[in-house]
């Protein structure tokens, strides 16, 4: 079984170097983390794997950080991500089955997306992405 390292906007990168710190990620949590990673990385920006990433941030940058622009860019990127997941040989609890944009809202200049994800195994998770 393969594990990933948990990512977090509040994670101290130095903690990854210390034994006993950080956490491992598998199952539906790994699927959510992979989804967010792909969403927030531009096509071709991942060193060593130019197929990783989506057009999401490029579209948002070019159309503006409005709820409407973010929502439309997300719809396109979600289709890209589903296609990327289909090319991967993953266990059912890590394989993406369905993406649902549950809510998009703005607070000041920040736009939030609440995203529901379901794995092939039927496990559901919700995550909030900040743009």
pTM for the model: 0.81
What integer is the mean pLDDT of 49-78? 89
What integer is the mean pLDDT of 65-80? 93
User: Which of 33-37, 38-42, 76-80, 85-89 is predicted most confidently?
Assistant: 76-80
What share of the chain in percent tops pLDDT 90? 52
User: Which of 47-56, 63-72, 111-120 is predicted most confidently?
Assistant: 111-120
Three-class secondary structure of residue 76 per DSSP? helix
Nearest to 8 by CA among 112, 110, 128: 128
Please work out, in degrees rounded to the nearest 5, the angle formed at the alpha carbon of residue 76 by the alpha carbons of 79 and 34: 55
* CA 87 – CA 131 distance, rounded (Å): 27
Q: What is the pLDDT of residue 51?
A: 77
Contact indicator for 116, 97 with CB cutoff of 8 Å: no
54 versus 45: the higher-pLDDT residue is 54
Q: What is the pLDDT of residue 20?
A: 53
What share of the chain in percent tops pLDDT 70? 79
Please work out, in degrees rounded to the nearest 5, the angle formed at the alpha carbon of residue 55 by the alpha carbons of 51 and 58: 130
Three-class secondary structure of residue 102 per DSSP? strand
CATH of domain 27-130: 3.10.450
Tell me the pLDDT tens digit for each residue of 6-38. 555 454 544 444 455 556 777 888 999 999 999
* CA 131 – CA 129 distance, rounded (Å): 7
Sketch the domain layout of the chain as residue ranges. Answer: 27-130
* Greatest CA separation for the chain: 44
């Amino acid at each position: 079984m393969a594990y990933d390292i948990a990512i977090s906007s509040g994670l101290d990168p130095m903690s990854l170097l210390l034994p006993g710190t950080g956490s491992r990620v598998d199952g539906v949590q790994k699927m959510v983390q992979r989804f967010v990673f792909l969403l927030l990385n531009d096509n071709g920006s991942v060193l060593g794997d130019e197929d990783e990433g989506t057009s999401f941030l490029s579209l948002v940058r070019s159309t503006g950080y409005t709820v409407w622009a973010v929502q439309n860019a997300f719809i396109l990127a979600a289709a890209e991500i589903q296609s990327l997941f289909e090319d991967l040989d993953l266990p059912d609890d890590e394989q993406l089955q369905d993406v649902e944009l549950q809510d998009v809202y703005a607070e000041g200049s920040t736009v939030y997306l609440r995203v529901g994800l379901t794995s092939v195994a039927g496990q559901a998770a919700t995550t909030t992405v900040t743009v």
